[in-house]
Amino acid sequence: MITFYGAPMSNAGRSRWMLEECGVPYAYEIVDLRDDAQRAAFAEVFPGCKIPYLIDGDVRLSESMAINFYLAETYQPELVPADRAGRALAYQWSFWAITNLQPEALAVMRNTTILPPEQRSAAAADAGRTGSQRFVDQLEAALAGDWLIGDHFTIADLNAGSVVGTATRIGAAKAGPRVAAWLDYLRARPAYQKAFAPT
Ligand SMILES: N[C@@H](CCC(=O)N[C@@H](CS)C(=O)NCC(=O)O)C(=O)O
């Protein structure tokens, strides 16, 4: 049985979504890292002390994108493009989301909600909005059909969609019509609904 450590409204959401896409049973351990006792207990399991974290037999993994590739390749291989160029595109969109868009959106979140008001910077939030919009516009131009790669849903849609969904939901960027329709398809998926249902 897989054990999955995560929490609502965190980077773990995209790996929980992938677990639901794979349809494998798993034990969901919710960890509140702001709670000292829970943090200490989780550090015994994973000294890096970040969620998501996954244990599947001998496999122990952190990093949501790595977890998602492992889960898809192991349990739902059709989510990973079979050809090398398609797989490279899946990596491209996954890294694009987590290294380009996510830090910009996080800058908006930190400077509008996470930091105490006296530590927030309006300039940093504005810069984050500008950066986020640039990347979401890039995606708008790249989305030629319904999905990022080929003619069906892949891990690229899930990994990128999880970050784009957050960036647009918090108002870091506005989705153009193609991105908005794509996000609607993603949010309508039963696995998405299960993963993000209130716990
Ligand atoms: N790049 C990692 C980021 C993981 C991460 O930063 N998780 C946050 C929750 S959203 C966390 O565990 N923070 C606790 C800490 O940094 O101490 C991933 O995508 O899995």
pLDDT tens profile 80-135? 999 999 999 999 999 999 999 999 999 999 999 999 999 999 999 999 999 999 99
Find the 50 Cα to ligand 1 centroid distance in Å: 5
pLDDT tens profile 143-182? 988 999 999 999 999 999 999 999 999 999 999 999 999 9
Got the DSSP string for 92-112?
Answer: HHHHIIIIIIHHHHHHHHIII
From 108, 113, 116, select the one nearest 135 (Cα to Cα).
108
Q: Helix crossing, 12-22 with 64-75: angle to 10°?
A: 0
pTM of the model: 0.96
Classify residue 71 as exposed, middle or buried by CB count within 10 Å of its CB (0-12, 13-18, 19+): buried
Q: Using a 6 Å CB cutoff, which residues line ligand 1? A: 10-11, 33, 49-52, 63-64
**CATH tag, 81-193:** 1.20.1050.10
Where in the sequence of the chain do the CATH 1.20.1050.10 domains occur?
81-193
Find the 31 Cα to ligand 1 centroid distance in Å: 12
Q: Which atom of ligand 1 is nearest to the CA of 65?
A: 19
- Substitution candidate for ligand 1 out of 17, 35, 45, 50 with most atoms within 8 A of CB: 50
Got the DSSP string for 52-95?
Answer: -EEEETTEEEESHHHHHHHHHHHH-GGGS-SSHHHHHHHHHHHH
pLDDT tens profile 17-70? 999 999 999 999 999 999 999 999 999 999 999 999 999 999 999 999 999 999
Instruction: Supply the pLDDT for residue 198.
Output: 78
Classify residue 19 as exposed, middle or buried by CB count within 10 Å of its CB (0-12, 13-18, 19+): buried
Where in the sequence of the chain do the CATH 3.40.30.10 domains occur?
2-78
Q: Which atom of ligand 1 is nearest to the CA of 14?
A: 19
Instruction: Supply the pLDDT for residue 63.
Output: 98
Q: Which CATH architecture has domain 2-78?
A: 3-Layer(aba) Sandwich (3.40)
Identify the DSSP state of 189. S
Q: Which atom of ligand 1 is nearest to the CA of 64?
A: 20
